[in-house]
Copies of this chain bind each other. A is one copy, B any other.
């Protein structure tokens, strides 16, 4: 006889022990169902322990001996039983309601709790046939876990059904929301760790519900696992008053359902009743919106699952509390290899799950129990969305050439570099209205990409006021995602890409460091996907870095940091690409390439303001295809060996380098200058280091073997040295870039402070060309004086001299 679970009290109830207490009461499961589900769960718990401890004797058909244990015990037991428990209950509702569910595991190192049911449902063996459904397979399954050459303790790319590794904590909820955008039938069930809940990115990502459209998007079902402890501490959310906790999630805009306790029987009933309610509510919200056609913000359900840490482990070990304590966070019994009493305890604990009742003679999971899992692609491990590349539809791309600006002669006219891109994105959006989104932290208008709003507005499910019509850019069915959280945007975008869709993220250069770590983790994910033979390539992560350092003179020092490129360069060359298109047409060409690429992190640097235009569309395509090249129109070496190579990467640095070139040519008409522009930064690296790298021969023929090179770079100058230090002529390469000198300046003054301005470059050249060291003294003085005049002008009038601002190539 199974009694109904108890309701939670509103007072503080932080003990996770005892009969279930839950918001939703009822006993939807028959005693037989409870028994079978509990057996399934026992099998999971057994496998979890097996992964952590055993390298031999997987079904304990012999007595357990110390040498059968792994030499190093890894993986976290703590959250695993709760994760498996949830997984099994999700299986039940998937079957009952025929649901399309992805499972995202947030808690750190808790992969065993997911790997166990993945193996039991048969998916694991389908993907990895050597991990077969028998004793031998089980042994390999156990041994490979956290074993050299094996798999990790997170839900790594090797894990079927995973789109969220969670090695770094904090992104599970934003990832989950990303996966269900534009997948109206999908549900992302995301297990949120109470440890990771303390991170900033997780804390704000709960607000993702204001951006979820109940008609065209799917649903996210967060299950906050109040497991109680981190490594050595309690978690905050597990130790605040029940009223505060409930208020917090109501405040975030959810309807929280509590399931709390440890007694398996009542907990099964409570979880089943709660999941039934959640699914019913999700369907009701969707049904209401879809039948009326009115998409409104909804208080979607979420679950707070409070269970003891290390649920089902021994209550005490050596007189110290184990289950329900931080001690069960990682590996509860650490010395079983050397302590016979603990070996015995471990064996007894393993046997307490009664493996002999769960697996048949061959070591296969009993058919009757396996039948509790859904079938085919309804199994969460086999959900095709988790291998998004398989589902990916290529973008329908208009011809980017049609969006270019007219450039009759190089460096004679100006244009906003990003505005044509906005129109290109608009039309891509129009042609791909279910699998392409644009992301940005409240800056797409500021970044001159606002043309996209002509076809799709900003997603907004929160309150709408009459005056919003003024701006006209908010809509429940908008496809432009704007929130002032780079973390959440990046998380949504990653979830969207990982499930096979396409995106474009435009953000401020100085603050993209906020997501250094996230982008690094995504690059690592892609890199590891290449090591599996079953993950299909996914659309690239496309980041436009704009409002760049050279136009942050007015916002000041805090807004000046081009260092994201240095972070990206540390990631695998197989994954990373960096482009610095100097004008509007080259930006279009680069963006077109990036949007059609797969499995890269593409970083595009281009400022949003008015800039000089260098290339007509044909030249831009040619130049971007090569990645770098000599600009003949700006060079006068005519194929002979030059006296100087002037090189540039980036919009403003290119303008200044050209101006310096012109000044030098005016002063020294005999001087032979070769002008090189670099769009694809990795061209500078040897081809042995990066697939885009130039061969030494090509590099040498461009940059000469021994002539001075002045390289004017958008970012921190040493990045160029880091890429090019192996090149023959590196010793003559003099790089200018941002060197952390700035405050409230004019653009030119900021350039001067960092020596990327035309005057500094011309002076650099004179200093480095042997025959000008004396002959150039007069010109050098002249340039210095001009530089001083420019600074004085800026300080007096607050703006730069017009002849500097409106400079044109004079030849």
Contacts and interface: CB of A to CB of B under 8 A. Distances in A.
Given A252-B248, A744-B146, A443 B558 contact: no
Interface in A549-606: 553-559, 561, 563, 566-567, 569-572
A315 to B, nearest CB: 11
Which of A204, A251, A531, A743 counts the most B-chain CB atoms under 10 A from its CB?
A: A251
Which of A55, A325, A531, A718 counts the most B-chain CB atoms under 10 A from its CB?
A: A718
B528 A557 contact: yes
A643 interface: no
Contact of A203 (B203, B470, B511): B203
Contacts of A557: 152, 156, 167, 524, 527-528
A150 B556 CA distance: 10
Interface in A146-164: 146-154, 156
A70 interface: yes
A72 to B, nearest CB: 6
Contact of A470 (B15, B320, B721, B797): B320
Contacts of A467: 321, 324-325
A471 interface: yes
A195 interface: yes
A803 interface: no
Contacts of A468: 234
A485 interface: yes
Q: Which 5 A-B pairs have the closest CB atoms?
A: A167-B558, A248-B251, A200-B200, A203-B204, A513-B517
Contact of A233 (B109, B248, B458, B558): B458
Q: Can you tell how many copies of this chain the complex includes?
A: 2
29 contacts: A70-B798, A148-B749, A148-B798, A149-B745, A149-B794, A152-B557, A152-B558, A165-B558, A167-B557, A169-B484, A198-B485, A199-B485, A199-B514, A200-B200, A203-B204, A204-B204, A231-B445, A233-B458, A233-B474, A235-B484, A239-B462, A247-B250, A321-B467, A321-B470, A325-B467, A325-B470, A524-B557, A566-B567, A570-B740
A12 interface: yes
Given A152-B743, A168-B511, A200-B202, 13 more contacts: A74-B554, A147-B744, A152-B558, A198-B485, A200-B487, A203-B203, A230-B442, A230-B484, A232-B446, A234-B462, A511-B517, A513-B520, A567-B567
Interface string A121-145: 0000000000000000000000000
Which of A460, A463, A746 counts the most B-chain CB atoms under 10 A from its CB?
A: A463
Contact of A721 (B152, B153, B722, B795): B722
A757 interface: no
A148 B746 contact: yes
A75 to B, nearest CB: 10
A761 to B, nearest CB: 19
A524 B470 CA distance: 39
Contacts of A170: 200
Contact of A744 (B152, B200, B326): B152
B725 A556 contact: no
A281 interface: no
B740 A232 contact: no
Interface in A170-208: 170, 195-196, 198-205, 207
A483 interface: yes
